[in-house]
A and B are shown apart, each in its own frame.
Chain A
Amino acid sequence: MKRRQFIGAAVVGATLMSAPMLRAQGRPRVVVVGGGAGGATVARYLAKDSAGALDVVLVEPNEVYHSCFFSNLTLADLRTPESLEHRYDKLAHLGITVLRDRAVGVDRARREVALGGGGVLAYDRLVLAPGIDFVAGSVAGWSEADAEIIPHAYRGGAQVALLRAQLGAMRPGGTFALVAPPNPYRCPPGPYERVSMVANLMMRINPTAKILVLDPKSTFSKQALFEDGWARHYPGMIERIGPGAGGNAVEVRPAVGEIVVAGAVVKFDVANIIPAQKAGAIADAAGLTEGGWVPVEPLALAAKTDPLVHVLGDAAAQGDMPKSGFSANSQAKVVANAIRAELTGSRAFPPRYANTCWSAIAPDDGVKVGATYTAGEGKIAAGEGFISQVGEAADLRAATYAESFAWYDAIGEDIFG
C-alpha cells in the first residue's frame, strides 16, 4: 500500500498506528491542531494553494463544528442551530487528512504531536488553533462541572442550546443573570449581543422578565451602541452592574439559584456564567503559554519561543486584534502563506490583517466595528478603523444586519470550502 493511500484511508475516524507517523519523503508535513475558524482556514489555504506539495493534517476531535460566532442569534430564534453547523468533508476532498482525534501533547524537540487516541504525528510545521479554555475559579462558586446546570454557552453547540432551552422555560417575570468575563476574551461584543438577543426573546415570550448583567469591566465593546439599542428596544428590562458596584466580585451559588453581589443576595431563575479565559489546553501542554496565552511574533504568528509552531486565533497573544472568528480567519491566511513559502519556496507576501465584528441588537438592527492591523514592533498593531454610530438611519441598520448574514455565509465557505 502506498503511503498516500494509507493517509487517505485515515480520513475521519481513523485509528493511528502507535508508532510515529513519519514525515513523508519529499513532502513536508504541516499539522494543524483545531478545526475552527483559524485552524480550518490554515489547512484549507495550505492545501488549496500548495496543490499537493504539502502533507496537511488537521487534528479535530469533533465531527461537526458549531460556530460560536452567530450562536447568540439562536437565542432569539433568528438562526437555527443547524444553520451554524459545519463539517470537514470538503477539506478532506482537498487532500487534507482530517483526523478525528484530540492533540494532547507536543514534543517540540522531536517535532511530534501526541494524540489522545494513542497516535503520534511528526511535523515540519505545527499550527495550534485550539481556541479558548476557561480559567478555573475565576467566578467564585462556579466551575465547569456546573455548566450542565448553569451554562457558559461560550462554545457553540450544546451549551448554547442548553441556555436557549432554559430561557424558554423560565417562569414569567423571572430573572436572567449574565456574568460577563474580564478582558481579554473571545468575541468582545459577544456577551452584550447575547444580552440583546435574550432581551429580544423575552420581549416576545416573557415580557416582564428581568436581565441582570454583572460585569467586571468598567467599559465594553460597542457600549454606546448597545446601551442605545437596549433603551430603544428593551426599555427597563436590562440592568448592568459594573465593577464599582460589585460586578467584579460575584459569588455564584448554583444549587440555590443565587448570586451574591456586593454582599447582597440576588435570586436568579436562569444564569449564564462566562468565565475568564485562556488559550486552549494544548497550548499550555506545548509549553508555549505566558499568562494563559501564547505570545507570537507579528509577521506570521510564530510562537516567540518556537519558530516552527504558529499559534493563531483566540489562543494567541498577538497584540491589538480582538479574539474573533474573523481575526482568526484573517491571521490564518497570513500563516498559510508564510508556512508554504518556507516549506515549498513559494512567494512570501507581507502580512495583512483585518477584523470586523457585527452584532445584532435586534432583528434588522445590526452594528459593526472593524479595523485593519499591521505587523508592528513586537506585536500586531491596530491601524485605521470604523464603527457604527448611534442614531443611524433604520435602513442602514437593516442593511448592516443583512450584511452580517451574508458575511456568515461567505466566511463559512472561506473556512470550510
Chain B
Amino acid sequence: MNDYPRTISHWRAAVGYGLSASMIGRRLNASKLSMLTFLAAAALFSAATAQSIVTVGQPEIEAPSCAGVPLSASPGAESSLVDPAKDLRGAIAAGQGDRDWGEYLAGECLTCHGLNAEANAGIPPLARLAPMDFASALEEYRRLLRPDLGMRLVAAQLAPDEVAALTAYFASLPPSPATP
C-alpha cells in the first residue's frame, strides 16, 4: 500500500521515466505487479484523454494487462455502460480523494459487501482491499473485463473523483475489525 502514488506528482514521476510496464515488471517483484498494472492502465488511458494530468512527455508504454487479460479492450468488449469520458484520473489521485464523500458513496457498496466480515462466497468484504486493488477492480469492471453484471453497472456509473473518494474512505478504515 505504501507503494501507491499518493499525489499526482508522484504519479507523473512514475510515468515520466518512460519505462514500459514490462521493463518495470522485470525490475520489481511479483507482489508489486498489481500496482504496475494499475499504473500502466492509468498511463495508457490518461495519455489519450487526460490533458490536465499528463503534462510531461507522452509515455511510451506497452499495452498493459490484468491477470493476463489485455486492458486495451477490443471494440467488441465495449458497451453502452462504458463512458469514455470517465477515466482513471480520480483513482490516480487516491489519497487526495474526498473521504467524507467516499463514506457516503460507500453506503451503496455496503448493501452487498460486508466491511469487516470474513470473506463469504461471492462478495468480498471491502475493508481489507488495498486501495489500488479496489480502483483496479473497478476499472476492470468498467472495461467489462470482469463478468459480474451488477458490478459492471456500479463501476460504469462511478466518476473518477468518486472512485478516488471511495478509495480514500476505504483506505482510512482500520485494518482490523472495529465493529461497534
Residues on A lying within 8 angstroms of B by beta carbon are 45, 48-49, 90, 93-94, 326, 329-330, 333, 337, 347, 349, 352, 354, 356, 368, 370-372, 383-388, 396, 399, 402-403, 405-407, 409-411, 413-414, 417
Q: A337-B104, A384-B81, A409-B117 are known contacts. Are A414 and B123 too (CB-CB below 8 A)?
A: no
Contact at A410–B114, with CB atoms within 8 Å? yes
Q: A45-B107, A384-B81 are known contacts. Are A406 and B156 too (CB-CB below 8 A)?
A: no
Q: A349-B101, A349-B104 are known contacts. Are A410 and B153 too (CB-CB below 8 A)?
A: no
Q: Which of chain B's residues have a CB closer than 8 A to the CB of A371? A: 153
For window 83-112 of B, CB contacts with A under 8 Å fall at 100-101, 103-105, 107-108, 110-112
Offer 15 A-B interface pairs, CB within 8 angstroms, sorted by A: A48-B180, A94-B180, A330-B107, A333-B104, A347-B100, A347-B101, A349-B105, A356-B150, A370-B153, A385-B153, A409-B117, A410-B112, A410-B113, A413-B117, A414-B111
Contact at B120–A406, with CB atoms within 8 Å? yes
Q: Is B68 an interface position by the 8 A CB rule? A: no
Contact at A407–B112, with CB atoms within 8 Å? yes
Q: Which of chain A's residues have a CB closer than 8 A to the CB of B112? A: 356, 406-407, 410-411
* Set B80, B101, B120, B180: member contacting A417, Cβ < 8 A: B180
Q: A352-B108, A409-B117 are known contacts. Are A388 and B149 too (CB-CB below 8 A)?
A: yes
Nearest chain B residue, comparing its CB with the CB of A346: B100
Bound-state CA distance A385–B180 (Å) is 35
Q: Is B115 an interface position by the 8 A CB rule? A: yes
Nearest chain A residue, comparing its CB with the CB of B119: A406
Contact at A406–B153, with CB atoms within 8 Å? no
Q: Which of chain A's residues have a CB closer than 8 A to the CB of B179? A: 417
How many inter-chain contacts with C-beta < 8 Å in the A-B complex? 89
Q: Is B174 an interface position by the 8 A CB rule? A: no
Q: Which of chain A's residues have a CB closer than 8 A to the CB of B149? A: 368, 370, 386-388
Bound-state CA distance A126–B59 (Å) is 56
Contact at B104–A405, with CB atoms within 8 Å? no
* Set B107, B111, B121, B157: member contacting A384, Cβ < 8 A: B157
Bound-state CA distance A399–B147 (Å) is 11
Nearest chain A residue, comparing its CB with the CB of B104: A349
Bound-state CA distance A399–B150 (Å) is 13
Nearest chain A residue, comparing its CB with the CB of B106: A333
Q: Which of chain A's residues have a CB closer than 8 A to the CB of B115? A: 413
Bound-state CA distance A48–B104 (Å) is 12
Bound-state CA distance A383–B157 (Å) is 10
Bound-state CA distance A82–B157 (Å) is 37
Name the distance in Å between A164's Cβ and chain B's nearest Cβ: 25
